[in-house]
Amino acid sequence: MSISTNDLKNGMALNLPEGLVTVVEFQHVKPGKGGAFVRTKLKNVRNGAVLDRTFRADEKVKTAVIDKREMQFLYREGTDYVFMDNENYEQVQVSAASVGNASNYLKEGDSAVLPTYEDEVIGVDLPASVELVVTETEPGMQGDRVSGARKAATLESGYVVQVPLFVNVGDRVKVDTRSGEYLSRS
């Protein structure tokens, strides 16, 4: 399906020669001389790259329908991740490339939203933060109270994050899924 660039909206998905993109922002420009145009900032859905693109006003672009489904992460099978659709209980295998950085924060049983385009999973949307258990870290030294000092901690997903010295094995910590940084102990 095609639409006019005059009808673009933020968050809309487009299927362009550059790939599958979503509209981050757009601006209609009507210069004093010449024809009107639409300046856009687009984000590639598969790799996250942001590109600027200018279209003529009323130029036709192909829209893409991205279906978002809530699924539960079941287990890893080789390099693939197996998810179960929460509505129809179908299992879907997703490649590690499609899961991307979300693998750092996924543990078995977690729910996530998987955007799909023409039966291809194109990513994993996680909440802004997740809680994970610390499985390995050096013990904090008694009396070691250096302000802002950090140490490495391995989480149950296998991800390593820098945490304050007072965090110990078995503690639940909240991690920001966008930056990968420690937020708090829960």
Domains and CATH numbers, the chain: 2-62 (2.30.30.30), 67-121 (2.40.50.140), 129-185 (2.40.50.140)
pLDDT reading at 143 higher than 70: no
Length of the chain: 186
Local confidence band at 8 (pLDDT 50, 70, 90 cut-offs): confident
Report the alpha-carbon angle 127-175-169, nearest 5.
Answer: 135
Which residue matches tokens 């487009």? 14
The answer to whether residue 130 scores a pLDDT higher than 80 is yes
**Degrees to nearest 5, angle at CA 96 with 90 and 98:** 75
What pTM was computed for the model?
Answer: 0.71
Question: 23 forms bridges with which residues in the sheet?
Answer: 42
**Residue range 47-73: mean pLDDT, rounded:** 89
pLDDT of residue 145: 61
CA–CA gap between residue 68 and residue 122 (Å, rounded): 10
In this prediction, residues 17-40 reach a mean pLDDT of 89
